[in-house]
Each structure stands twice: as structure tokens, then as C-alpha cells.
A and B are shown apart, each in its own frame.
Chain A
Amino acid sequence: MRRALAFALAFWAALVGFIAIDWQRSAAHNRFDEPPPWQLGQDKVEGSGHCAEPLK
């Protein structure tokens, strides 16, 4: 049980660390250029990234 808990804690610590490092290294996010809350009814966005997306 303790081993399983240690695995879970290590995983979540690594994940939060990964997100934090990525945030630090990424281009600054422009909060005044955020998309609307949902895509329905908005202009189509190309290249938003999906595993089924063909290689064009």
C-alpha cells in the first residue's frame, strides 16, 4: 500500500513539475487573445491538433 501510494505521489509530483517547467519555457500566454468559451458558432480553427488529423 505504501509502495503504491509512493508511486502515485511520485507520478503526480512529476506531472505537476512537468507542467510548471513547460509553462516557464513556453511563450507567454496572451490572455487578451483567448478563444471564446466554445467553438460552436465561431470561426473554424485549423491545426488545433488531433491524432486523426491527416498529414498535409
Chain B
Amino acid sequence: MQAMASNPDAAHTADRADRNSEPAGRHAANAALIVGAVAATLVVIWLVGLRQGALFVIGIGFGAVLAAVSFGFTTGWRIWIRDRDPTGILAQFVAIGLAMLVSIPLIAARPELSGAIAPLSVSLVIGAFVFGAAMQVADGCGSGTLYKAGLGNAFSLAVLPGFIAGSFVGAAHLDRWLALGSLPPVSLPEHLGAGPALALQTAALGGIAWWLWRRRRRTDARWQGRAIYIAAVVMAVLAVLNLIVAGQPWGIVYGLGLWGAKVATWFGADLTANAYWGRAAQQAHLQASLLTDVTSITNLGLLLGALIAANARGTARPRTRATGPQWLAAVVTGFALGYSARLAFGCNVGAYFSGISTGSLHGWVWFAAAFAGSMLGVRLRDRLGLKS
């Protein structure tokens, strides 16, 4: 099977050529994008208020920082599995750890703020494992697929519709999956206290980081220098701001599922009897504009921020070439990503990043199961001829 050119290295090679050949056009496009972002923010504030406008700007920040250094959750795991390069995972731990140091005490002190606390279910383990495998095949997790689609990456554009549909259907089936078995949610700060929970999680992150560092073979497989760690610090700041403004941690997949549910209702689907979408809160979300939903608005900002940063770097609109089976794999994998993320109570953002940083035990279970799935996914990626 022909290797696909949507991988970051190939994309960067092509993009370097673009960067050299079209600097003037790129600068003009960048100015237009920044003006467009300011205008879009004002429109959001005008239509749905200051809070949504602030969340839109926070989303722009997330997208910009992800695209500025190609901060990839998926790639970070893959370069450890393949090359024993811990850089990506260590940067993720820096972002999660710093967000945790503020989020856990804040949530403990302020009852109006919520963590990403989810049940410990059979569906969590299965969903996280499948998500971990699928994100390696798709070369993008929740945030990665979204921001690459915004850049015009054709492979991610093929993944995204399936991701949206899968998120919608997965949520609609959640009650049946939970019937397989589930323990109540465990908030470590509520069980142990904020201080001991912080100490325990810091020790766990530090212990894993130390183990990864001891077993490293290289540190330059993908990222060099301090940029990715600076990006991790900025991500932590944005995550805390998201918590303060939205009242809940950063998430992605709920918004995508809501978009799918809206489209389903436009085509006549009646979701009032569904265990998930039929609840009063979800019916209210379905009837309101997606601009009023806190997750959707950060998703939209993320798309725009990623486009601005990638355009500034000259890495927007990567060239993509894939075979028919690879395109089919993109669509199928997209559905699997969305469906499994809902069974697992989140993706790499809602469960791994936000779950751990707000003290949910489900975040750690998600991490373990998804990492095991990623080990399988990297092999599947090779089988499908998807390079990088």
C-alpha cells in the first residue's frame, strides 16, 4: 500500500517549500486571518455574550499553541513506542501537572467549579483501548483531528465526519454499555483531600516521567529545544482559564457529539426518548445554538487558532496523498474514535488531560488502557502503510 504523505514529516517537507515560495501571500493571509479572528470574536460576543467570547478566545489559544509546535498527544505516544523518545509524553505531563497544581485546589475550594470526574466502567476500559488504537491509525486524537482538519489536512477532514457521527451514536448507546458494569466515579481530592491527592498524582506523574527518562534512547525524534515545554506551560494556563470561565475543564468530544445530534434532528430523528440525548439538559442544548455550548465554542476557536498559527509557520494546507483503502480507513477510524471516546468518558483531552488534572481516577484508567491500545494502533498503522 502506498505510503501516505499526510504524516507530519512529509507535510513539513512540502510546507518548507511553500514557506520559501510564498512568503508575501502567507503574510497577507495571516493578516486576514487575524482580522477574521477578531471579527469572529466580536460576533460571538454580540450574539451570545462575553463568556462565550472568552471561551472562543481560549479555544483560539489552544489551537494556536497546538499548531505552533505541532504538539501531538498521538505523536508523543508513538515516538515513545517506536523510538523510545519521551519528549512528547514529558511535555504532556508538564501540561497536565501544572494544570493540576491549580485546578485541584481551585475545585476543592469552589463548589461552583466541576472536575472531569467519570465512572470506572467496563466501557471506559474498552473505549479507551479502542480510542488509543484508532488515534494512531488516524494520526490524530480529539484535539489533533480537529486542528488538522482546520488546516485543510485532507486525511483529518475524512476522519472528522465519522468522529462527529461516532460521538453522537456513542453517547446515544452509552446506557447499554454502562449496563455491562460500572463503579461510581472516584474523585481523588474528594476521597483523600486536595493536598494528598496532589502529592499522590505528582508522585505518579514524576515516577512515570523518571522511568521514561531512564529508558530513553533519544530525545530528538520529533521535537527539539524548549518550544514544546513552553507550549505545555501555555496549555496549562489555558486549561485553568477554561475551568474558571466555563466552570468545567477543557473538553472536545461532547461538542462534536452535539453537532452530530443536531444534524440527526434536522433529518427528523426524535431523540427525546434516548437515555442520553433525551435528558432535559441535552434537549436544551439541542434546541439552543451551538454557539451557546461551552465545548463547541472552544472547539471552533481551536480550529481558527490552529489555522492562524499553522499559516504563520507555513504549515497550513499540508499535501495529502492516500490510497482508496487508506481513505476508507480514515472514515471508519473516525467513527471508532468518536464512538469509543464517548464510551470512555472523554478523549485525550476530556479524560486524559482534564481527568487527571482535576483528580479523576478515570483519567488514569483511560491513560493505561489507551496507551495499551496505542501499542496495537502503531502496528496497525504500519500494516496499513501509514508512515511516520
Interface band, chain A: 35 or more
> Which of B152, B154, B246, B318 is most buried by chain A, counting CB atoms within 10 A of its CB?
B152
Q: Which residues of chain A from 1 to 49 have any CB-CB distance to chain B below 8 Å in the complex?
A: 1, 3-5, 7-9, 11-12, 15, 18-19, 21-23, 25-27, 29, 31, 34-49
Contact of B113 among A3, A40, A47, A54 (CB under 8 A): A40
A21 to B290, CA, bound (A): 11
Q: Would A19 and B291 count as touching, CB distance under 8 A?
A: yes
Q: Would A7 and B289 count as touching, CB distance under 8 A?
A: no
Q: Would A52 and B289 count as touching, CB distance under 8 A?
A: no
Is B162 interfacial (CB 8 A cutoff)?
Answer: no
**Nearest CB in chain A to that of B152: its residue:** A8
Measured between beta carbons, the chain B residues less than 8 angstroms from A15 are: 300, 303
Q: Would A29 and B303 count as touching, CB distance under 8 A?
A: no
Measured between beta carbons, the chain B residues less than 8 angstroms from A26 are: 287-290
Contact of B289 among A23, A38, A56 (CB under 8 A): A23
**Nearest CB in chain A to that of B341: its residue:** A51
Contact of B18 among A1, A3, A39 (CB under 8 A): A1
Measured between beta carbons, the chain A residues less than 8 angstroms from B246 are: 39, 48
Contact of A39 among B112, B292, B303 (CB under 8 A): B112
Q: Would A44 and B247 count as touching, CB distance under 8 A?
A: yes
**Nearest CB in chain B to that of A22: its residue:** B290
- Interface residues of B: mostly helix, strand, loop or mixed? helix
Is B180 interfacial (CB 8 A cutoff)?
Answer: no
A8 to B152, CA, bound (A): 4
Measured between beta carbons, the chain A residues less than 8 angstroms from B255 are: 49
Q: Would B49 and A40 count as touching, CB distance under 8 A?
A: no
Is B221 interfacial (CB 8 A cutoff)?
Answer: no
Report the minimal beta-carbon distance from B302 to chain A, rounded to whole angstroms. 12
Q: Would A38 and B245 count as touching, CB distance under 8 A?
A: yes
Q: Would B152 and A7 count as touching, CB distance under 8 A?
A: yes
- B273-306 vs A, CB cutoff 8 Å, 1 = contact: the mask equals 0011001111011011111111100001001000
Please judge, given known A-B contacts A18-B259, A50-B251, A52-B354, whether A11 and B288 are in contact too, CB under 8 Å: no
A5 to B310, CA, bound (A): 13
29 contacts between A and B (CB under 8 A): A4-B154, A8-B150, A9-B152, A11-B150, A19-B291, A22-B289, A23-B291, A26-B289, A31-B49, A34-B49, A35-B49, A37-B54, A39-B244, A40-B110, A41-B112, A43-B112, A48-B246, A48-B247, A49-B254, A49-B255, A52-B118, A52-B355, A53-B254, A54-B118, A54-B185, A54-B345, A55-B174, A55-B175, A55-B276
The 9 closest A-B pairs by CB, nearest first: A8-B152, A47-B281, A39-B247, A34-B49, A52-B116, A51-B350, A4-B317, A37-B50, A26-B289
